[in-house]
Amino acid sequence: MDEEYIEKVKGLIEQKDTENVKALLADLHPADIAELCNDLEPEDARFVYRLLDNETAADVLVEMDEDVRKEFLELLPSETIAKKFVDYMDTDDAVDLMRDLDEDKQEEVLSHIEDIEQAGDIVDLLKYDEDTAGGLMGTEMVTVNENWSMPECLKEMRMQAEQLDEIYYVYVIDDDERLQGVFPLKKMITSPSVSKVKHVMKKDPISVHVDTPIDEVVQIIEKYDLVAVPVIDSIGRLVGQITVDDVMDEVREQSERDYQLASGLSQDVETDDNLVRQTSARLPWLLIGMLGGIGNSMILGNFDATFAAHPEMALYIPLIGGTGGNVGTQSSAIIVQGLANSSLDAKDTLKQVGKEAVVASINATIISLLVYIYNFIRFGSAATVTYSVSISLFAVVMFASIFGTLVPMTLEKLKVDPAIATGPFISITNDIIGMMLYMGITVLLA
């Protein structure tokens, strides 16, 4: 999908050359059509969109950027959304789309869905929290009864499979709809046809509960290398399935979010977002940083006399502040990542702080010594600055490490996302505390 191609499409749209645009679209995967629509002007995108058949149109809508899709849906009447899109979508995608609409429009769309069973599934799914397995699952899957014979089972599977885009596993339930086993697809072609399903299935399959948080679902799929995981309710009934493609989107989103938080961006922002969004994602942390900087100027303002006596003290303000920021960022990043991939448990706070203190003291000793040698050569050993800067550096590194460890672990315990404690939060706080330590130590030593 290069620029040349997009220009060609634009040219055809301008000439209203419906036939040739249609021919081009016929060769494209829905994901590529969505990408094309994202790159076109809204009006041109709508022109392309009207040329698609209903099924493709629904697939393209699922693949579109969320922002573009939201704008798009606002222009459409509820009946069109229901009949042209939702009817052709899997329930998990339909629910995703419905969450973009306000409640009134949701009701309207639901009332226009012709397939009552699908409408019921969507209503049920909308009740689950977006961040749980229930909020991510779909209801499209192949299920068979454990007491069926293999030929019965194959016949039923054939019927159910006709309706589905893709089959990952076949789920086996008992007469009360409780999940009893999983039936890998390969068994369908390798198992003798005489036995009952329950003798061929894999018992006690890995499953998640409707209330399982998405983070955990992601970990389970990753750990056990699954392509899908069944979702059960509180009495063990099979209610849905989560597929690996949705989980992969979650992994991507989660890591992008952590990265953005660590970089001082307060909301999801992309290079092609408009100016308002670009500014509002950045300004909050810049303003907090500004307040931190003004706070620092107030603190330093109390030490006129110290600066007057030792004017060279001012030269090391960037070194002390910068080192505190760097050390704190490193420590907090290691903790946030450990908590995110579950290699670290919030219960081990004390042990982790102890370990961090040892690492910090090694780094602090090396840096303070090197700076001491430099200042010894520059100012001589008698100058206040020579020992005051090194002692302050040591103290700042120790403090920043322990603070950078303690804060995210405490947040995790309080069930607050620890990622907010990285990046600018850590560097601004450490900058201020660093200045206080520096000034305090200098006054004590001078």
Residues between 107 and 126 with contacts to a copy of itself, criterion CB under 8 A: none
Distance CA 215, CA 345 (A): 15
CB of 134 to a copy of itself, least distance (A): 21
Residue 61 burial by Cβ neighbours in a 10 Å radius (0-12, 13-18, 19+):
buried
Q: Which of 224, 234, 235, 415 binds a copy of itself (CB under 8 A)?
A: 224
Q: Which of 359, 383, 420, 436 binds a copy of itself (CB under 8 A)?
A: 359
**Residue 145 lies near a copy of itself (rule: CB under 8 A):** no
Q: Backbone phi, then psi, for 29, in 5-degree steps?
A: -75, 145
**Residue 420 lies near a copy of itself (rule: CB under 8 A):** no
Q: Backbone phi, then psi, for 262, in 5-degree steps?
A: -65, -20
**Residue 275 lies near a copy of itself (rule: CB under 8 A):** yes
* Long-range interactions of 160-167: CB distance < 8 A, separation 24+: 164/140, 165/90, 166/243, 167/142
Are 401 and 360 in contact by the 8 Å Cβ rule? The answer is yes
Q: For residues 318-337, which are near a copy of itself according to CB under 8 A?
A: 318-323, 325-327, 329-330, 332-335, 337
Q: Which of 10, 84, 174, 184 binds a copy of itself (CB under 8 A)?
A: 184
Region of 4-12, 109-117, 234-242, 248-256 interacting with a copy of itself (CB under 8 A): 248-256
Q: Which of 18, 147, 193, 279 binds a copy of itself (CB under 8 A)?
A: 279
Q: Which of 15, 18, 149, 341 binds a copy of itself (CB under 8 A)?
A: 341
H or E element in which residue 183 lies: strand 179-184
Q: For residues 148-177, which are near a copy of itself according to CB under 8 A?
A: 154, 157-158, 161-162, 164, 166-168
- If the CB atoms of residues 67 and 108 are measured against a copy of itself, the closer one turns out to be 67
- If the CB atoms of residues 286 and 443 are measured against a copy of itself, the closer one turns out to be 286
Q: Which of 21, 95, 122, 265 binds a copy of itself (CB under 8 A)?
A: 265
**Residue 352 lies near a copy of itself (rule: CB under 8 A):** yes
**Residue 300 lies near a copy of itself (rule: CB under 8 A):** yes
- If the CB atoms of residues 4 and 102 are measured against a copy of itself, the closer one turns out to be 4
Distance CA 302, CA 290 (A): 19
Q: Backbone phi, then psi, for 223, in 5-degree steps?
A: -65, -45
**Residue 23 lies near a copy of itself (rule: CB under 8 A):** no
| Straight-line distance from the first to the last Cα atom of the chain, in angstroms, rounded to the nearest whole number | 67
Cβ-based neighbours of 358, under 8 Å, separated by 6 or more: none
Between the alpha carbon of residue 68 and those of residues 1, 50, 342, the distances in Å are 19, 16, 35
Residue appearing with tokens 């499953």:
207
Region of 12-20, 43-51, 76-84, 314-322 interacting with a copy of itself (CB under 8 A): 314-322
**Residue 338 lies near a copy of itself (rule: CB under 8 A):** yes
Which residues face 230 on adjacent strands? 241
